[in-house]
Chain A
């Protein structure tokens, strides 16, 4: 962005002062010609390519759905995972396409669409898995072990649920910091299976724990269901997006997108079978 444009932007923004109050509607978005979307830079769910365009399960599906809705352009911004929901509430963007797990806690803050993907958990460790970790509970057994998680991600809840202490946890701000962290400051990195797989790919010093046993919480193995998050007051916009998403999920294009990023047929099917209301109710 050239300097004059920054100066112009800031002048406009300063002059405009208060942001427009009230809900953002699909019509607003179409009138202004673009919509603002946030991702968290987590391969393969959502990330920014080096040319500045977005990619990943969330952005690819979002772009396809937006096209169906007739929204010409999406303005993407990358923000730390933990600030996705606060940023959404602060109207920094109109929705979040980061495949955040639809959890009852988050449902109190934002309005999710129907699930767009489903995924299990994983662990990234040093090559050769020197601590012989096979599941999150192994970390709880040895208090001297350290595990990294992305701040604001829900993996911490699963770690806590199996007995990992807060003093064992290193909170990192971005998924990409995990590689450096696992090689120096932590014994493992806890994230979703796809994240771990994509990080481990082509790396000589780290590996994905396999076979990995999903953590069991409340008697059930954990499975995540990622969706798009909107502001609760933007109900009309969320409903329009959701209807188009449900329609798009039936298409071959949808399966192709998810397949490219390593999601199995079973995972795709699992996502389509769950209802957002049930997930929000903790069922």
Chain B
């Protein structure tokens, strides 16, 4: 089996892909919550900044963003390592999409609940932390699951800024062996398998979130 010989190099690439994807999901989630909450709860200035960020990163293409950060930005003196560039841009990109999920979920928490919170003398931060977010979080999880898969798929674009991820390895092996069918099939299967694992992880997190929301804050006194 000739294609068995591709496996070591491909799995090295898959590790990089996994690392970049998980980092981007983590950092992207932070960006998503920051921007999403700023859109709903922030003052005019803050929500405007969040809006600009969201529109800028949703409105332009990820590949354009990657190339811009990788080739263009250094010319004005701002430069990161390739891997950091890849993670940063991917995070900001999916974070912008995530912020829309956060915003939508927060806004779906009913007005009555906000009124009830006010009646209980909850501050804005308390309301957000103890009333809105726990409910919204449950709401967000399925969409976040899809976004996580999207992140994994989009991570393949970092191969184009010379990061040796799974796609990059596939390209190099094909360049040497010229066995396009074998290499790309194996790569597709690799991504599919990673997607399934990622789906499983997101389901687990979703279950944890649900459980957390069902028994809210026993410790809160």
Q: Is A33 an interface residue (CB 8 A)?
A: no
Contacts of A9 in B (CB 8 A): 81, 83-84
Contacts of B22 in A (CB 8 A): 3
Instruction: Kindly supply a per-residue 1/0 record for chain A positions 173-198, scoring 1 wherever the CB is within 8 Å of any chain B CB and 0 otherwise.
Output: 01010011000000000000000000
By the criterion CB–CB under 8 Å, are B77 and A90 in contact?
Answer: no
By the criterion CB–CB under 8 Å, are B82 and A6 in contact?
Answer: no
Contacts of B216 in A (CB 8 A): none
Q: Is B16 an interface residue (CB 8 A)?
A: yes
A61 to chain B, nearest CB (A): 22
Give bound CA distance, A92 to B85, whole Å.
11
Closest chain A residue, CB of each to CB of B91: A10
Interface size class of B (residues with CB under 8 A): 20 to 34
**Which residues of chain B from 1 to 52 have any CB-CB distance to chain A below 8 Å in the complex?**
9, 15-16, 18-20, 22-23
**Which residues of chain A from 124 to 173 have any CB-CB distance to chain B below 8 Å in the complex?**
none
Q: Is B140 an interface residue (CB 8 A)?
A: no
By the criterion CB–CB under 8 Å, are B71 and A83 in contact?
Answer: yes
Stretch at the interface among B100-108, B123-131, B171-179: B171-179
**Which residues of chain B from 71 to 104 have any CB-CB distance to chain A below 8 Å in the complex?**
71-75, 77-84, 87-88
A110 to chain B, nearest CB (A): 14
Stretch at the interface among A12-20, A112-120, A208-216: A12-20
Choose from A10, A21, A89, A176 the contact partner of B174 (Cβ within 8 Å).
A176
Contacts of B146 in A (CB 8 A): none
By the criterion CB–CB under 8 Å, are A3 and B19 in contact?
Answer: yes
**Which residues of chain A from 65 to 87 have any CB-CB distance to chain B below 8 Å in the complex?**
77-79, 83, 86-87
By the criterion CB–CB under 8 Å, are A7 and B19 in contact?
Answer: yes
Contacts of B88 in A (CB 8 A): 10, 14
Choose from A10, A14, A17, A50 the contact partner of B176 (Cβ within 8 Å).
A50
Give bound CA distance, A17 to B77, whole Å.
10
Q: Is A266 an interface residue (CB 8 A)?
A: no
B2 to chain A, nearest CB (A): 13
B206 to chain A, nearest CB (A): 23
Give bound CA distance, A90 to B83, whole Å.
15
By the criterion CB–CB under 8 Å, are B19 and A2 in contact?
Answer: yes
Query: Given contacts A6-B23, A10-B84, is CB(A86)–CB(B173) below 8 Å?
Result: no
By the criterion CB–CB under 8 Å, are A3 and B178 in contact?
Answer: no
**Which residues of chain B from 164 to 188 have any CB-CB distance to chain A below 8 Å in the complex?**
164, 171-176, 178, 180
A33 to chain B, nearest CB (A): 16
By the criterion CB–CB under 8 Å, are B80 and A50 in contact?
Answer: no
By the criterion CB–CB under 8 Å, are A6 and B20 in contact?
Answer: yes
Contacts of A180 in B (CB 8 A): 178, 180
By the criterion CB–CB under 8 Å, are B70 and A90 in contact?
Answer: yes
B175 to chain A, nearest CB (A): 3
By the criterion CB–CB under 8 Å, are B9 and A50 in contact?
Answer: yes
By the criterion CB–CB under 8 Å, are A21 and B9 in contact?
Answer: no
By the criterion CB–CB under 8 Å, are A86 and B16 in contact?
Answer: no
Choose from B15, B20, B172, B180 the contact partner of A50 (Cβ within 8 Å).
B172
A65 to chain B, nearest CB (A): 23
Query: Given contacts A19-B74, A77-B162, is CB(A6)–CB(B16) below 8 Å?
Result: yes
Give bound CA distance, A14 to B83, whole Å.
11
Give bound CA distance, A3 to B16, whole Å.
7
Give bound CA distance, A41 to B176, whole Å.
10
Contacts of A86 in B (CB 8 A): 71
Contacts of B83 in A (CB 8 A): 1, 6, 9-10, 13
By the criterion CB–CB under 8 Å, are B175 and A174 in contact?
Answer: yes
By the criterion CB–CB under 8 Å, are A90 and B79 in contact?
Answer: yes
Choose from B74, B78, B172, B174 the contact partner of A92 (Cβ within 8 Å).
B74
Can you list 30 A-B contacts (CB < 8 A)? A1-B19, A1-B83, A3-B18, A3-B22, A7-B19, A9-B83, A10-B23, A10-B81, A10-B84, A17-B78, A19-B74, A19-B78, A21-B77, A41-B172, A48-B172, A50-B9, A50-B176, A78-B162, A83-B71, A87-B162, A89-B74, A89-B75, A90-B70, A90-B73, A90-B74, A91-B79, A92-B74, A174-B171, A174-B175, A176-B175
User: Other than the known A50-B176, A176-B175, A180-B178, what 15 A-B pairs have Cβ atoms closer than 8 Å?
Assistant: A3-B23, A13-B80, A17-B78, A19-B79, A41-B172, A48-B172, A50-B173, A83-B71, A90-B70, A90-B71, A90-B74, A90-B75, A92-B82, A174-B175, A180-B180
Question: Which residues of B come within 8 Å of A, CB atoms?
Answer: 9, 15-16, 18-20, 22-23, 70-75, 77-84, 87-88, 162, 164, 171-176, 178, 180
